[in-house]
Structure 1
Amino acid sequence: MGFRIINGQAYPIGNFQLPEQNINYKNNDNKTNFNDILQNEINKNNESYTLSKHAASRLKEINFTEADMNEIGKGFKIAEEKGSKNSVMIYKNVALVASIENRTLITAVEKERAKENIFTNIDSVVIL
């Protein structure tokens, strides 16, 4: 004989009945519904991005602030809207190489270090 686990209780498969429960599926005014929670999480993911270890150490040296990081997030959004896959973002004399597809900031290069360097596999430039 087999059993099914429903809401933490075992029921024999032959006598499968749901336990009577008082569940109100109507939207209560004091609770957030699932759709609102889902939309909030989607918006968080669309606004966030990941820093590679290399980019994090470079940005730490450059002393980027929270406001600077928010501007970089706007750059991701602009590049994504235009269909970019890999981009260079220019912000405050710093070139930021980013994978738009993966929402990852790969590296940051200051103007002085960027002389005589080549950025390859880039399909867009975003000037912030």
Structure 2
Amino acid sequence: MSDNRLYLSQQPFIPAQRTAAGQSSGAGKKPVNAGVPFDQLLQQELNQVKFSQHALQRMNSRNINLSEADLSKLNNAVEKAGQKGARESLILMNDLALVVSVKNKTVITAMDGASMKDNVFTNIDSAVII
């Protein structure tokens, strides 16, 4: 015999609270991407540069932090490299060196200025300076 019972979550369902004006408590705040179709949002996310586990470890150990503006510049640089047919690119930005797989849009490794000195970059076919 099989068990045909339904098992419900133990967390209670709590409806949105109404304010004195009759609006739900979240009303008045528009979602960041209000009105943008889901497929467009998904495509934007898929086109963003990702970071490999190795790159994240290097960034953490070297205290490298990228701002939203830096990420935007990085995405543009990877896009330009891809348009030129690059596969593995060295991207120099401010005092950083990033090796990026252009095809996968993935940062492979990251170095700060101190780590860049006396290094040889191999397995790259292009360089982008931003």
Q: Residue 79 of structure 2 aligns with which residue?
A: 77
Structure 2, unpaired ranges of 5+: 1-34
Query: What's the TM-score once normalised by structure 1's chain length?
Result: 0.63
Residue 124 of structure 1: how far off its partner (Å): 0.5
Distance 1:96 1:115 in 2: 14
Structure possessing the higher radius of gyration over alpha carbons: 1
Within a 5 Å distance, the mapping from 1:80-99 to structure 2 comes to: 80-99=82-101
**How well do the aligned residues superpose, as a CA RMSD in angstroms?**
1.9
Q: Residue 45 of structure 1 aligns with which residue?
A: 46
Partner deviation per Cα, 1:24-77 (whole Å, 9 max, x = no partner): xxxxxxxx9xxx65455334322x121011212333412222221221111111
Q: Secondary structure at the match of 2:128?
A: strand
Distance 1:80 1:40 in 2: 21
Letter in 1 for 2:50: T
Distance 1:62 1:44 in 2: 22
Query: What's the TM-score once normalised by structure 2's chain length?
Result: 0.63
Letter in 2 for 1:119: F
Aligned length: 93
Q: Check 1:59–1:65 CA distance in 2 against 1; reply closer, same or farther (3 A cut).
A: farther
Task: Work out which of the residue numbers 114, 117, 122 in structure 1 matches 2:116.
Answer: 114
Letter in 2 for 1:110: D
Bigger share in strand: 1
Distance 2:65 2:41 in 1: 30
Residue 122 of structure 1: how far off its partner (Å): 0.6
Distance 1:83 1:74 in 2: 14
Letter in 2 for 1:50: K
Percent identity between the aligned chains?
A: 37
Letter in 1 for 2:129: I
